[in-house]
Amino acid sequence: MKTSDITYVFGTGRIDKLDNKNFTGEFFYGYNYFLSKNLNVQIIELNESNRKNRISSKILFFLDRAINKLTRLPFYMNEVISFENIKKLKNSKNIIFTNDRIGVSLLPVVIFLKLFYKINSVVIVMGMLNNSGNNGLVRFMRTLIIKLFIQFNDKFIFLGIGEYENAKQNFKKNNKFFFFPFCVDSAFWKSKEEYKSSTRKKILFIGNDGNREFQKAIEIAKIMKDKEFLFVTSDEEINNLEMENVEVISGNWNKSLLTDTEVRDIYEQSKITILPLKNTLQPSGQSVTLQSMSCGVPVIISNTIGFWDSDRFKNDYHLVRLEDNSLDSWVSKINEILKREDLLAEISKNGVELINNNYDISKFNEYIEKTMIIDK
């Protein structure tokens, strides 16, 4: 098998989007950039059907469940460990695990390979290092696995500064830790028309991750019956909503229920984007915030401890960060800002400038290239 410069290990739903121009490249974390530099780049993707096809995968499935119970860490060994994938990894100079759940699932393979081969492995961290668990045995086993995970991988990329600082405090060898902010394709996420709040009515809530406050979004819409809401999510409760002032579109990026082109069209209909979130170190809502801002749509977001860069995103200038995450505070702030068309226009303009200058995908490509070991 030919040696690969870089092997990406993705979750589901990536390969079928590679050649589809209706999807952008930000969730490929530099893949297209490295291809453009004529590097040999290959992909491994989680495959949920593996567990049904091989006896070994069925065994791994039961191991996944047992380890998950002991550590509360997500393991998907049954979906990613195969002889073919091990060969790909063995013949790679660099491996990029595009989230920590995938990285930890391949930890047994990484430990084996690092004992015999020189491979540079990079992990994009998305929340796994934050919670140690309450149970004594769970905490011990989880910490043991994470220490091995850090020891046998070379670099860890954090997309939020809060999560990055927390990891530096809690784990040794933090010279392996780097903060690279998530970035978006600002050329794609660009509105066809200049933002004018007076011509738009819809209040947008969009996203699926577990740190979204879905119930709060519903309650906001129930109270603000005179406002039009658009909810884009695969959340079951929201998809079963029957409210006159709420339009629901089922959306899930991994399952390709909507293309990025369709999502961009949704931003262009929206007056503001709201993101009520749970208070977590994981930088939840990051991609939606950057996409929305890039399209010129002002964002109101919960000011969580995991907000990715509080210094650079100025409150009431680039976006609105809500300190009080109560329902009353959300309703009050939305009503307040909808009356300020001058402020909405200013936030729209400032947000676009911030994304173009500091959060374009070209920046992330530069960041991640520095973590690779490439023969000149």
Q: How far apart are CA 240 and CA 350, in angstroms?
A: 37
In this prediction, residues 150-174 reach a mean pLDDT of 90
Q: What's the pLDDT score for residue 337?
A: 96
Average pLDDT, the chain: 92
Lookup: tokens for 34: 């490295």
Percent of the chain residues past pLDDT 70, beyond the cut: 95
Collapse the DSSP code of 164 into the 3-class scheme (helix H, G, I; strand E, B; otherwise coil) and give the result.
helix
Considering the domain 4-183+361-369, what is its CATH architecture? 3-Layer(aba) Sandwich (3.40)
Within the chain, residue ranges assigned H as helices are 31-36, 50-53, 55-71, 77-80, 83-90, 100-105, 107-116, 136-152, 161-170, 214-223, 236-239, 260-269, 286-294, 327-338, 341-358, 361-369
Look up the pTM and report it.
0.93
The confidence band for 50, taking pLDDT boundaries of 50, 70 and 90, is low
Q: What are phi and psi of 15, to 5 degrees?
A: -55, -40
Q: How far apart are CA 292 and CA 304, in angstroms?
A: 18
Q: What's the pLDDT score for residue 221?
A: 97
Q: What's the pLDDT score for residue 374?
A: 80
Tell me if 282 sits within 8 A of 306, measured CB to CB. Answer: yes
pLDDT digits (tens, 9 = 90+) for 184-232: 999 999 998 889 988 999 999 999 998 999 999 999 999 999 999 999 9
Kindly list the domain boundaries of the chain, sorted by start residue.
4-183+361-369, 197-358
Q: How far apart are CA 286 and CA 125, in angstroms?
A: 14
pLDDT digits (tens, 9 = 90+) for 65-77: 999 888 888 898 9
In this prediction, residues 362-372 reach a mean pLDDT of 96
CA distances from 222 to 97, 186, 215, 228 (A): 41, 34, 11, 11
pLDDT digits (tens, 9 = 90+) for 274-304: 999 999 888 999 999 999 999 999 999 999 9
pLDDT at 130 > cutoff 70: no
pLDDT at 137 > cutoff 90: no
Name the least confident of 99-108, 172-181, 241-250, 315-324: 172-181
Q: What's the pLDDT score for residue 131?
A: 61
pLDDT at 134 > cutoff 80: no
**Does the domain formed by 197-358 have CATH 3.40.350.10?**
no
Residues with Cβ within 8 Å of residue 265, at least 6 apart in sequence: none
Provide the β-strand partners of residue 248: 231
In this prediction, residues 41-59 reach a mean pLDDT of 75
Domains 4-183+361-369 and 197-358 share a fold: yes
The confidence band for 7, taking pLDDT boundaries of 50, 70 and 90, is very high
Q: How far apart are CA 248 and CA 241, in angstroms?
A: 8
Buried b (16+ CB within 10 A) or exposed e, 352-366: bebbeeebbbebbbe
Percent of the chain residues past pLDDT 90, beyond the cut: 73
Burial of 132 (0-12, 13-18, 19+ CB in 10 A): middle
* DSSP class of 2: P
Name the least confident of 4-13, 73-82, 260-269: 73-82
In this prediction, residues 249-273 reach a mean pLDDT of 94
Lookup: tokens for 121: 């492995």
The confidence band for 3, taking pLDDT boundaries of 50, 70 and 90, is confident
pLDDT at 49 > cutoff 90: no
- Residue indicated by tokens 């919960």: 302
Q: What's the pLDDT score for residue 256?
A: 85
Amino acid making up residue 196: K
Lookup: tokens for 174: 């933090």
pLDDT digits (tens, 9 = 90+) for 74-128: 898 988 998 999 999 999 999 999 999 999 999 999 999 999 999 999 999 988 7
In this prediction, residues 37-50 reach a mean pLDDT of 86
| Nearest CA-CA partner of 275 in 176, 206, 356 | 206
Buried b (16+ CB within 10 A) or exposed e, 247-279: ebbebebeeeebbbeebbebbbebbbbbbbbbe
